[in-house]
Amino acid sequence: MNVNPKSKFGIAFDIGTTTIVGSLVDLEICKENLSPNVSIGEVTAFLPNPQAKWGKDVLSRITAATAKPETLKALQEDVVNACNDIIKKLTNPKDVQFVTIAGNSTMEHLFLGISPAALAKVPYRPSFKESKKIKPDEIGIDINPEGWVYTFPLIGGFIGGDTVAGILSTEIHKSKKPCLLIDIGTNNETVFGSENGLIATSTAAGPAFEGGTIKNGMIADDGAIQGIKIKDDKIILDVIGNATPKGICGSGVIDAVAKLLNAGIIDTSGRIKNRDEIEGNLANRIKEPPHPSLSPMGRGLGRGARNEEQGNAFLLYKDAKKEITITQNDVREIQLAKAAIQAGIKLLLKKADVNSNEVEKVFIAGAFGSNINKNSLADIGVIEKEWLDKVIFIGDAALDGAKLALCSEQKRKEAEEIARNTKHLSLSGSSHFQKEFLKGMGFPFIQG
């Protein structure tokens, strides 16, 4: 990395429920060239969020943090230590002058060591909404002691600083025509609007789209299957780094489920069919439960059920050491996640009194980056087919917004305005949400 040793550095963080990502920025360069694409040589590092041992979703961590004060401290130490490890990977910590933090409401509470107890009960209001600018030693971030740590403001409920950062980077708050921003992650956020106003909602999609709760799931790293093709009864895998497959990341799971739907391996209810229901060589890739007493229907919809033998599985890859499959439970996890996102989008548009064909652009953000197949998203029902020509993949929009906030006090002020002016649509306890969620569990019928 060729950098000026006298440069002042900043690090932007997207603290996700599943993954923490940090990006190194030259503060002198980005002040002159205000753009989210100011990482030095694309210097970015990530780590799994170590808080996962307290639970894969935000509600589990809220419960843990409020049960015992010492657990809240441990959760804070986990995320701060992970950030410090990323800082050390990127540069000498003493050269870092500024850090920006974008995370959902729960993640920012835990990062700051503030109890998220208020998020555990109606009306699910965060303990604070304003941005914070603090000295690094107040929280344990290892950078130049004269530097600063900035956390993004929150919108409300579970919609936090990562959504504000995403809006900042996409500039949908300045758009003449209505746009959608869909941030696909463990805690899904969707924003709709234009310069005339924004409205945002949040749904608990779970970590399936990031490879979590998936039997062979992994983060989008070398060896992860990120896409598949089915051609002449053969499976062709797209593996990150052209490496030997180790597992399957979020984009790969979405693509696999969509392609298996198209091939008739999975039906619209989400059931992986039996071998005798499938013609051709693909039938040989079906792994049926070894015990006849176990139902092949795999009807259990609860997240807690992790026995892949509750239904069939489809073999993607096999070598002497391992097998990588899409299991019946994996499909159910995708159904739960996509139904939550789909329901949130429909209710947001209904609240805004807008038809889906009036949407001008559909920005899709997520840790899986731009490798996800938009046709696969439509095939499983996350987005409308009519939006395919309107989809713009923007990768980690929260990280891009966090970079902008590093570069400019004006952008930080803009973030404050976004947080104040974005309306929050709460779906907690909504019978309309439950109705749309249940309707969204099935997959669309695919002709062909």
- Tens-digit pLDDT profile for residues 52-98: 999 988 999 999 999 999 999 999 999 999 999 999 999 999 999 99
CA distance linking residue 275 with residue 312, whole number of Å: 9
Q: What does 395-412 look like in DSSP terms, one character per residue?
A: E-HHHHHHHHHHH-HHHH
**Residue 55 in contact with residue 84, Cβ under 8 Å?**
no
Selection from 52, 57, 61, 49 nearest residue 21 by Cα? 49
User: Looking at the predicted structure, is the pLDDT value of residue 297 above 60?
Assistant: no
Q: Which two tokens stand for residue 259?
A: 């392609």
pLDDT of residue 41: 47
State the average pLDDT for the chain: 89
pLDDT of residue 367: 63
User: Looking at the predicted structure, is the pLDDT value of residue 292 above 60?
Assistant: no
Residue 113: count of CB within 10 angstroms of its CB: 17
User: CB-based contacts of 70: which residues, under 8 Å, 6+ apart?
Assistant: none
pLDDT top residue among 146 and 33: 146
User: Looking at the predicted structure, is the pLDDT value of residue 38 above 70?
Assistant: no
pLDDT of residue 381: 93
Identify the sign of the CA torsion 91, 95, 100, 103.
positive
Q: Is 353 left (phi over 0), alpha (psi -120 to 50) or beta?
A: left
pLDDT of residue 299: 45
User: CB-based contacts of 274: which residues, under 8 Å, 6+ apart?
Assistant: 286, 288, 296, 312
User: Looking at the predicted structure, is the pLDDT value of residue 298 above 50?
Assistant: no
The pTM score is 0.86
User: Looking at the predicted structure, is the pLDDT value of residue 1 above 70?
Assistant: no
**Residue 34 in contact with residue 407, Cβ under 8 Å?**
yes
pLDDT of residue 364: 94
As separate numbers, helices (DSSP H) first and strands (DSSP E) second, the chain gives 11, 18
Selection from 50, 75, 46 nearest residue 62 by Cα? 75
Crossing angle for the helix pair 58-67 and 69-90, to the nearest 10 degrees: 130
Determine phi and psi for 219, rounding to 5 degrees: -75, 165
Q: What is residue 45's three-state secondary structure?
A: strand
Share of the chain above pLDDT 90, in %: 76
Share of the chain above pLDDT 70, in %: 90
CA distance linking residue 395 with residue 404, whole number of Å: 15
The string of pLDDT tens digits covering residues 338-348 is 999 999 999 99
pLDDT of residue 32: 52
In Å, what is the CA distance from 297 to each residue of 149, 259, 380, 409, 412? 51, 20, 19, 56, 51
pLDDT of residue 368: 57
How confident is the model over 333-356, as a mean pLDDT? 94
**What does DSSP assign to residue 271?**
P
The string of pLDDT tens digits covering residues 404-448 is 999 999 999 999 999 999 999 988 778 999 999 999 999 987 654
In Å, what is the CA distance from 96 to each residue of 1, 42, 132, 165? 16, 17, 18, 21
How confident is the model over 24-40, as a mean pLDDT? 67
Inter-residue long-range contacts of 276-284, CB under 8 Å, 24+ positions, other chains counted: 280/233, 281/233, 281/234, 282/230, 282/233
pLDDT band at 300 (very low <50, low <70, confident <90, very high): very low
CA distance linking residue 106 with residue 27, whole number of Å: 28
The string of pLDDT tens digits covering residues 138-152 is 999 999 999 999 999
Q: Which two tokens stand for residue 442?
A: 């099935």
Enumerate domains of the chain plus CATH numbers.
Answer: 9-170+397-421 (3.30.420.480), 179-206+334-396+432-439 (3.30.420.40), 210-328 (no CATH)
pLDDT of residue 303: 42
Q: Which two tokens stand for residue 354?
A: 């807008």
User: Looking at the predicted structure, is the pLDDT value of residue 294 above 60?
Assistant: no
pLDDT top residue among 368 and 262: 262
User: Looking at the predicted structure, is the pLDDT value of residue 51 above 70?
Assistant: yes
pLDDT top residue among 437 and 220: 437
Sheet holding 313-318: strands in order across?
Answer: 286-287, 313-318, 323-327
pLDDT of residue 429: 78
Place of tokens 């894969």: 56
User: CB-based contacts of 302: which residues, under 8 Å, 6+ apart?
Assistant: none
How confident is the model over 126-136, as a mean pLDDT? 96
pLDDT of residue 34: 56
